[in-house]
Structure 1
Amino acid sequence: MTALSLIVPVYNERESLPELLERLYRAMADKQLHVLFQESFSFEIIIVDDGSIDGSDKLVREMISTKQELRLISFQRNFGKTAALSAGFKAASGRYVCTIDADLQDDPFAIKELIKKLEEGYDLVSGWKQQRQDPLGKTLPSMVFNTVTRLFTGIPIHDFNCGLKVYRSEVVRRIELHGEMHRYIPVLAHWNGFAIAELPVVHQSRKYGQSKFGAGRFFAGLFDFLAVVFITRYFRRPMHFFGMMGLISFLSGFIISLYVTLDKILYAKPVSNRPILFLGILLIILGAQLFSTGLLGEMLSTSSSGSGNDYTIRDTVNFQSEV
């Protein structure tokens, strides 16, 4: 079994790749890292090319001939970072799994420190870009995102979306990623009962190119945040969510309708053309619909099975078995 699998999602990072791989190989040669495993240390570097159009995959193919630890998964088109990580997780054979971005902003020599922290009894250790070297247009939204996620989930992590993370293999086999949920991997891991921790890491300015994430990612992140909150709390019991909302709506409508009825009986007030009556009827109907949605959700969660992949692989290179 491979000791450590390094997963690198890549999208148009041809300029960064040679330097990144040189850094990774130097970090993997660190004697302190070998001592941590107390065994014959072996590693693999899985490059997941997310439909690059700048020749990133061709460069990796050329490098594979001289670097036997290098693997390549090449997507048919751009499917996003979540899909790239998901494919890498499924292909990884290491006892430990590390993810690192290809933009050279993370220090590969921090990997051994994250593994040391992992050995203290944790299942996932996430990097914390404590001194982030990014423009305000990225740091401010990220600060808001991390604060909101921390408040709603109760997980005391400062940087949920740091690309540098180390996992035990059980974690990556257990969690399922969809949409843009790579931002919420610590949340999903915590929901599955894994112990998570955080460690400050050095963050560097981007050396080549520019960020691949535009303003649209914040809307996607908002929707995925709502999805993650629902999944982690109500995925196996949707009736608790929809049923409670339905019950509140139904009872509110019933009380309003009862009030209108008693008003008619006791004080002979007309029922027609009273807006409050229509509100009561609307709330009763809405309550019944929400309750029905909860029942349908319960049936689906009970009978549903695993779905297919959210990506299409064009080909793989240098794997022992088919990914």
Structure 2
Amino acid sequence: MQEKKIDLPKKSGITSPDISIVVPLLNEEDSLDELADQITKALAKTNYSYEILFIDDGSTDRSWDIVEQLSGDNEYISGIRLRRNYGKSDALQTGFERSTGRFVVTMDADLQDDPNEIPAMIKKLEKGADLVSGWKKKRHDPISKTIPSRFFNAVTRWVTGIKLHDFNCGLKAYRKEVVENITLYGEMHRYVPLLAKWEGFGRIEEQVVQHHPRQYGHTKFGISRFLNGFLDLVTLLFINRYVNRPMHFFGLFGVLFLFVGIAINLYLAYIKIFLGESLANRPLLFLGLLLVMVGVQFFSIGFLGELLNRGDGRNQKPNVAEVTDS
């Protein structure tokens, strides 16, 4: 079986830094040298130890060659190369699993995120925040991206109850425990704050960050990402609320359809028996029968889901925050 990734060896001198900076990238050969230099200069002004993890998500240009060169020249830099393009969520998840710092920072590789924002975000984590999300209040993007993004963020705020202005901002900082307790896949990287909240990490803060115009290359995301984002949000909400209690969802619709179907059939039975009317040409008869059958199917699906949950050892376990010895 082919391995999913090629992993540069970790430097023996870097064991447990304060900050792990995870940078997913796809065809960003022109920006990597400058980005590494910016991060190094920004953190050189602080007392934090750090590591930089470049996650190459199947680039077809010279990005991986540059990561290898940077890794050879700088003991704080290492990289992982995915054998094909898996997507940003998988790249971030790979970085989360490899990171060893007390705090984890994610940022994009296109030079639009500013590394000078990192120290202030870490300060908020040290004061008790679980997650600090960047807010690109003044964006340097075309209107074709800014208008849909504002609509997307408004809907997400309303649905999730998390008061963030910019869920899509790649610049975020986390406590290590947060990334250890969430799993990203598909396009779920947009909803890390929501996943963290569901795992009990509710201290989510926001920081206005500087957003720079793109200097090299072009954006990797089209308008389809917003449609995919809404579909992913619906999926997440459904899984969180009903994955361990499927009868609450399917059973509700099953009972509703059964009730309406039985009521229709009782009405038809009444007019047939007591009023002597013919039912042969009544579409309502077929509707009543259909609703009863659909109701039974929904109820059965919910019941089977409950049986599968009872026999599945992967049911969600509580996330323990603290343990004290008596």
Q: Would you say 1:135 and 2:142 are equivalent positions?
A: yes
Q: 1:5 is matched with which residue?
A: 20
Q: What is the letter of the counterpart of residue 65 of structure 1?
A: G
Alignment equivalent of 2:91, drawn from 84, 98, 102: 84
Name the CA distance, whole Å, in 1 between partners of 2:19 and 2:309.
35
Greater RCO, CA 8 A, separation 6+: 1
Q: Would you say 1:150 and 2:157 are equivalent positions?
A: yes
Matches within 5 A, 1:234-273: 234-273=242-281
TM-score for the superposition, normalised by structure 1: 0.88
Q: Would you say 1:192 and 2:207 are equivalent positions?
A: no
Q: 2:324 is matched with which residue?
A: none
Count of residues paired in the alignment:
298
TM-aligned CA deviation for residue 241 of structure 1: 1.5
SS at match of 2:102: strand
Runs of 4+ aligned residues of structure 1 deviating over 6 Å after TM superposition are none
TM-aligned CA deviation for residue 304 of structure 1: 5.4
Q: 1:96 is matched with which residue?
A: 103
Q: Which runs of 5+ in 1 are unaligned?
A: 35-40, 307-323
1:56-75 per-residue CA deviation (whole Å, 9 max, x = no partner) reads 01111011111111111100
Q: 1:29 is matched with which residue?
A: 44
Q: What is the letter of the counterpart of residue 126 of structure 1?
A: S
Q: Would you say 1:291 and 2:299 are equivalent positions?
A: yes
Alignment equivalent of 1:276, drawn from 284, 289, 304: 284
1:257-314 per-residue CA deviation (whole Å, 9 max, x = no partner) reads 22211222222222222111211211111112122222233334441549xxxxxxxx
Kindly tell me: are residues 203 and 300 of structure 1, through their superposed partners in 2, closer, same or farther at Cα, counting changes over 3 Å?
Answer: farther
1:207-254 per-residue CA deviation (whole Å, 9 max, x = no partner) reads 111100123323322221111111222222222112112221221212
CA RMSD of aligned residues (A): 1.5
Q: 2:228 is matched with which residue?
A: 220
Q: 2:187 is matched with which residue?
A: 180
Name the CA distance, whole Å, in 2 between partners of 1:215 and 1:49.
23
SS at match of 2:18: strand
Name the CA distance, whole Å, in 2 between partners of 1:106 and 1:251.
55
Q: 1:315 is matched with which residue?
A: none
Q: 2:35 is matched with which residue?
A: 20
After the TM superposition, which of the residue ranges 86-95 and 244-253 deviates more from structure 2? 244-253
Alignment equivalent of 1:170, drawn from 172, 177, 198: 177
Equivalent pair of 1:48/1:75 in contact (CA under 8 Å): yes
SS at match of 1:72: strand
After the TM superposition, which of the residue ranges 150-159 and 7-16 deviates more from structure 2? 150-159
TM-score for the superposition, normalised by structure 2: 0.88
Name the CA distance, whole Å, in 2 between partners of 1:205 and 1:182.
22
Name the CA distance, whole Å, in 1 between partners of 2:147 and 2:87.
23
